[in-house]
Chain A
Amino acid sequence: MTDITNTPAAEHEAQLGDYFALFKPRVMQLVVFTALVGMLAAPVSVHPVVGFAAILFVAIGAGASGALNMWWDADIDQIMRRTQSRPIPAGKVQPGEALALGVALSGMSVMMLGLAANLLAAAMLLFTILFYAVFYTMWLKRRTPQNIVIGGAAGAFPPVIGWIIATGSFSIEAWLMFALIFMWTPPHFWALALFMRSDYDDADVPMLTVTHGRPATRRHILAYTMVLAVLAVGTGFTAIGGWIYLSFAIVLNAMFLLGAYRIWQRDEDASEADNYKVERKFFRLSLFYLFLHFGAILVEATLRPWGLGGW
């Protein structure tokens, strides 16, 4: 008897959703949101169709770099609990498919962004894809405990790209939005590394928790959070800030600083006793932290035409 479902190809045949999972949809959400805020906060208006297309191509570029990351990291994704269900380690998508999809969509997104917006935005998107897929994924991630710090820059470029889509040039405000994500990334991931105890050790990824120990990681979280708080509140006094943003920034950074201070004060025994309650809470807050900061910048930009936003 011939049964089509008995063939290995049929058993593992990927669905559309499996390919979509290669694009790291959660990271894409952040990319789309921050790029959109960067574009709308700029002092130049963009035609809605051009803006929609440009942000879509930025999202596709980000997704493509995610697929390249999953292709390269398939071996360690198989080891880490957090990543075991990704399409390649789960056997749903072949590594070659992820590579082909990543390369093809990277090229398409850069080319289309160049046509839809401008060449500088396209060049910046290409730089971001290469920075994440090659510089971070292939080179830094497995070599240095500073992987998260430098690699975080890749996730910080989208608001700069959004700004360039609208203006065609760089500016201090765009780089402030970059700095906000850049300084936020390390405390966010180090908090995760503190309570996802064995994942990075097992996969031999040199996270700070593995190379410098957990007390050093706690000190680093506090130090980065202090610099981040200064930057985040300082942004409130620039052209993209205003009293709404500043109010949000003061409250959120006070909460974030308090969380980092509590993490710094604790030792491993205390953390293990309550199953890393403080670290988990800090991690959850970090997710809202970034969305609310960029949300406040968006509110300021939206209200500006009515003379309500900004200073």
Chain B
Amino acid sequence: MNMRTEHEIHNRRRGRNVGVGLMLGAFVILVMVLTFVKITQTDFTKAMGAPAPQSQESN
């Protein structure tokens, strides 16, 4: 029985898996950068200065 550890199909699969991995990594980085931009663009001072929501009083 001829069993090779490295076969052409392994290389092809590796190429595909690396591609998917890189795309997922890029997506994670994009979401991180987008979150950073959204947070720094938002004016939180205004929100903190706004009147606090009335809490419900329990009887």
In the complex formed, the residue of A with least CB distance to B37 is A49
Q: Which residues of A contact B2 (CB under 8 A)?
A: 1-3
The reply to whether B9 and A16 form a contact with Cβ atoms under 8 Å apart is no
13 CB-based A-B contacts, threshold 8 Å: A1-B1, A3-B2, A5-B9, A10-B9, A13-B9, A14-B16, A15-B12, A15-B15, A16-B15, A16-B19, A49-B33, A49-B37, A116-B34
Total number of residue pairs linking A and B with CB closer than 8 Å? 36
Main SS class of interface, A: helix
Q: Which residues of B contact A3 (CB under 8 A)?
A: 2
- A51 to B: closest C-beta gap in Å: 10
Q: Which residues of A contact B1 (CB under 8 A)?
A: 1-2
Q: Which residues of A contact B20 (CB under 8 A)?
A: 16
Q: Which residues of B contact A49 (CB under 8 A)?
A: 33-34, 37
Q: Does A79 contact B (CB under 8 A)?
A: no
Q: Does A26 contact B (CB under 8 A)?
A: no
Given contacts A16-B19, A49-B37, contact A5 B30 (CB under 8 A): no
Interface size class of A (residues with CB under 8 A): 10 to 19
The reply to whether A47 and B16 form a contact with Cβ atoms under 8 Å apart is no
Interchain CA distance A270-B9 in the complex, whole Å:
52
Main SS class of interface, B: helix
Q: Which residues of A contact B8 (CB under 8 A)?
A: 5
The reply to whether A50 and B9 form a contact with Cβ atoms under 8 Å apart is no
Mask for B1-30, Cβ within 8 A of A = 1, else 0?
111000111001101100110000000001
Q: Does A4 contact B (CB under 8 A)?
A: yes
Mask for A45-64, Cβ within 8 A of B = 1, else 0?
00101100100100000000
Q: Could you list which residues of chain B lie within 8 angstroms of chain A, going by C-beta atoms?
A: 1-3, 7-9, 12-13, 15-16, 19-20, 30, 33-34, 37-38, 41
The reply to whether A4 and B33 form a contact with Cβ atoms under 8 Å apart is no
Interchain CA distance A81-B20 in the complex, whole Å:
31
Given contacts A4-B7, A53-B30, contact A13 B37 (CB under 8 A): no
The reply to whether A5 and B13 form a contact with Cβ atoms under 8 Å apart is no
- A225 to B: closest C-beta gap in Å: 41
The reply to whether A2 and B3 form a contact with Cβ atoms under 8 Å apart is yes
Q: Which residues of B contact A53 (CB under 8 A)?
A: 30, 34
Q: Which residues of B contact A10 (CB under 8 A)?
A: 9
Interchain CA distance A48-B38 in the complex, whole Å:
12
In the complex formed, the residue of A with least CB distance to B41 is A47
- A113 to B: closest C-beta gap in Å: 11
Please name the 10 residue pairs, one residue from A and one from B, whose CB atoms are nearest each other, closest first: A16-B19, A49-B37, A53-B34, A16-B16, A10-B9, A1-B2, A4-B7, A4-B9, A49-B33, A47-B37
